[in-house]
């Protein structure tokens, strides 16, 4: 009997995996806004006034659209954007982050989704989401996996 109860508890807890403790994915879908940080440079993000463009900006905008949302951009350096993400002000960061990011202990990084050449060799690009927001990370990686390169 105790084994059956323990099994039911374990299986019941699995229904919500992956989960977002802060409800980020649900909030983006409900409110229709993906709060994204843009770090200009690395030929991945370009900023001209209020306009954010470039290959990673397009990826973020397409992902937001897949969730029924638009992007509200915040522009800054990586350190500033990571701190804003830790304060709960951003849902995603783009801007030339790579799988060798020094921020990997403060934000969750996607698997590399594209590579580019650099003078130092091949760079594997990633995006960042808040640490622990696993449903958002899963949705983003699934979307990245399903799009054409």
Is residue 93 within 8 A of residue 138, CB to CB? The reply is no
**pLDDT confidence of residue 20:** 85
Across the beta sheet with 128-130, the strand order is: 70-75, 33-38, 92-94, 128-130, 107-109
Query: 7 is written with which tokens?
Result: 């099994």
For the chain, domain boundaries: 2-146
> Is the pLDDT reported for residue 2 higher than 50?
no
Residue-wise pLDDT tens digits, 32-90: 999 999 999 878 899 998 899 999 999 999 999 999 999 999 999 999 999 999 999 99
Q: What pTM value is reported for the model?
A: 0.85
Query: Tens digits of per-residue pLDDT, 96-115?
Result: 899 999 999 999 999 999 88
Backbone angles phi, psi at 65, to 5 degrees: -60, -35
* CATH (residue range 2-146): 3.40.190.10
């Amino acid at each position: 009997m105790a084994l059956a109860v323990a099994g039911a508890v374990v299986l019941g807890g699995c229904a919500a995996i992956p989960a977002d403790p802060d409800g980020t994915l649900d909030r983006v879908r409900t409110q229709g806004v993906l709060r994204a940080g843009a770090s200009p440079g690395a030929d991945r993000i370009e900023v001209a006034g209020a306009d954010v463009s470039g290959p990673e900006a397009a990826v973020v905008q397409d992902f937001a659209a897949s969730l029924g949302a638009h992007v509200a951009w915040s522009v800054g350096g990586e350190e500033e954007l990571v701190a804003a993400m830790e304060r709960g002000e951003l849902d995603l960061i783009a801007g030339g982050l790579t799988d060798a990011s020094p921020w990997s202990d403060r934000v969750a990084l996607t698997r590399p989704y594209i590579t580019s050449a650099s003078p130092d060799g091949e760079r594997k690009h990633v995006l960042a989401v808040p640490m622990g927001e696993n449903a958002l990370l899963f949705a983003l990686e699934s979307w990245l996996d399903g799009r054409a390169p």
